Amino acid sequence: MKKTGYVMQSAAAAFDAYGSIRPWALEGTIYKADLDYAFNNGKLTIDEKNGIWGVSESGVVAIRGGGIFTSTENDGKGNWKWNTGITPEGINATLITAGQLDTNRVMVYAGDKLRF
């Protein structure tokens, strides 16, 4: 019975009064999963103000309430020049750099008419 109580307390501590997961709980889980390779051995930070940041020599990816943003350069004063990747309104296709995309399940529409 003590184990169950301890587990329940530990799980409950990971959430705030509004039901949001606390940054330290998510950060600890990611580090335990050893995801450093995903950021080219860069730095992963999570905080309530800035969201989730993965920074490496290649640039930075930030996941915040408004979407996913990327940058590979700054303005010389330490400020990143951001590109919007994904927002609730959609995906920025100009950031897609794949050599090949499988469009087997993609339909292209112009208004209400299917076109190719």
How far apart CA 46 and CA 39 sit, in angstroms, is 14
- Count of Cβ atoms closer than 10 Å to residue 62 Cβ: 20
The pTM of the full predicted model, rounded to 2 decimals, is 0.58
pLDDT tops 50 at residue 102 = yes
13-41 pLDDT, tens per residue? 878 887 777 777 777 666 665 555 555 56
Burial of residue 52 (CB within 10 Å: 0-12, 13-18, 19+) is middle
The dihedrals phi and psi of 98, each to the nearest 5 degrees, come to -70, 145
**60 strand-pairing partners:** 55, 71
Residue 48: both structure tokens together: 């309530």
* Residue 106: predicted pLDDT: 75
